[in-house]
Every structure is written in structure tokens, then in C-alpha cells.
């Protein structure tokens, strides 16, 4: 039996992410001393919220060619076979498989597909709340985060550093700051 929970302002329905108020970002260690941050400029996501929030679902995808780390040469390299192989695998996709509450926090389990490899991941999901905008649209805000090991998805490019360590860290933090609109 699935537990039922109550979330103030929650409404069942279909929600579409507002790209003007959403960011799909990531960060990874560089040279073992700093973090490089990037984002995907083109993406889409749909949430179907059920009467019971724990029976809701999400599907999302980001266009790999839209990667932006504020360094055009690096972005071009990320699109090659050394990394995402954008021409062959144009999208990173996520499909939820379940939602649960663990120690009072929401967890969204699902399958993440990168470069043709699908693996389970869990996003920590934090509701920011619900609000009507000045145009009569009902909005939801949230932050979703997870950490993955990039090599698990075939992203193995790296280089040893003369002083020890490697050029690119293994762990990638994915952070999604989202605003979604309830569809009429």
C-alpha cells in the first residue's frame, strides 16, 4: 500500500517545465582543484502529478549539442566521441520509476540514459512551493540534485596530471532548478 502525503498548494495534473525559469546544470572537478560548471540550453520535461503525490511521474530530456560551459572549445570537445558523442546520442533522458519519502525528504528514482547507457539514479527533490503568476498560470518550483560517476555511462575520457591525479574528476553533480506550469 502506498502512503498518502499532503503538500500545501499541491494540484494534480500535467506540468511542463518553463525553460525561461529552469536550469539543467552540472559540475565536475577539474585539475583536482576546481570545479567546472555547465548547463544544457535546450531541454524539456513533463511532470504528471497524481492525486497522491507519491504516484506522480516525470519524463525529461536535454539536447546534448546545447551543452554550454562558457568555453566554446571545451563545449565542442564535449560533443565529440571523447565525451557525449552528440551526433549519435543527441539526448540525455530521464524517466522516473518511483517517488518516495525518506527521512522526510522526497526522492525521485528513475532511469538516466547518457550516451546509449541507461542506469538507475535517485534525485533528491526539494519543493520550493506553488504560486500563481501575474498571468493566471499556476506554477511549481523545485530543486532536484543527484551525483553520478561519469564512467558508468561511458564518459571515460581523462588525462593523468604531471603532479598527480587526473584532469577530470569522476563524480558529476547534476542540479536542476526548475519552474513548471500546470497545463489547463
Q: What is the pLDDT of residue 104?
A: 86
DSSP 72: H
Confidence of residue 1 (pLDDT cuts 50, 70, 90): very low
8 to 21, 48, 53, 113: CA distances (angstroms): 22, 17, 11, 33
pLDDT for the residue 57: 97
pLDDT score at 27: 95
SS (H, E, C) 88-126: CCCEEEEEEEEEEEECCEEEEEEEEEECCEEEEEEEEEE
Burial environment of residue 18 by CB neighbours within 10 A (0 to 12, 13 to 18, 19 or more): middle
Q: Tell me the average pLDDT across 2-14.
A: 82
Q: Summarize pLDDT for 41-93 with one digit per residue, the tens.
A: 999 999 999 999 999 999 999 999 999 999 999 999 999 999 999 999 999 99
Q: Is 168 helix (H, G, I), strand (E, B) or coil?
A: strand
Cα 165 to Cα 34: distance, rounded to the nearest angstrom: 13
pLDDT tens digits along 112-158: 999 999 999 999 999 899 999 999 999 999 999 999 999 999 999 88
pLDDT at 141: 96
With cut-offs at 50, 70 and 90, classify the pLDDT of residue 8. confident
Q: How many CB atoms lie within 10 A of CB 119?
A: 12
Find the radius of gyration of the CA atoms of the chain. 18
Report the pLDDT value the prediction gives residue 3, as an integer from 0 to 100. 64
Q: Give the SS3 label for residue 68.
A: strand
Amino acid at each position: 500500500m502506498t502512503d498518502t502525503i499532503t503538500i500545501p498548494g499541491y494540484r494534480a495534473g500535467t506540468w511542463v517545465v518553463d525553460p525561461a525559469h529552469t536550469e539543467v546544470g552540472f559540475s565536475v572537478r577539474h585539475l583536482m582543484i576546481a570545479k567546472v560548471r555547465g548547463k544544457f540550453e535546450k531541454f524539456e520535461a513533463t511532470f504528471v502529478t497524481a492525486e497522491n503525490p507519491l504516484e506522480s511521474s516525470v519524463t525529461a530530456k536535454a539536447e546534448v549539442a546545447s551543452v554550454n560551459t562558457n568555453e566554446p572549445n571545451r563545449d565542442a570537445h564535449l560533443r565529440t566521441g571523447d565525451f557525449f558523442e552528440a551526433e549519435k546520442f543527441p539526448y540525455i533522458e530521464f524517466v522516473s520509476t518511483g517517488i518516495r519519502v525518506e527521512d522526510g525528504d522526497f526522492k525521485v528514482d528513475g532511469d538516466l540514459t547518457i550516451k546509449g547507457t541507461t542506469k538507475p539514479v535517485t534525485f533528491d527533490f526539494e519543493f520550493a512551493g506553488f504560486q500563481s503568476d501575474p498571468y493566471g498560470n499556476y506554477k511549481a518550483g523545485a530543486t532536484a540534485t543527484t551525483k553520478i560517476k561519469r564512467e558508468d555511462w561511458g564518459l571515460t575520457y581523462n588525462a593523468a596530471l604531471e603532479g598527480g591525479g587526473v584532469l577530470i574528476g569522476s563524480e558529476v553533480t547534476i542540479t536542476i532548478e526548475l519552474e513548471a506550469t500546470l497545463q489547463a
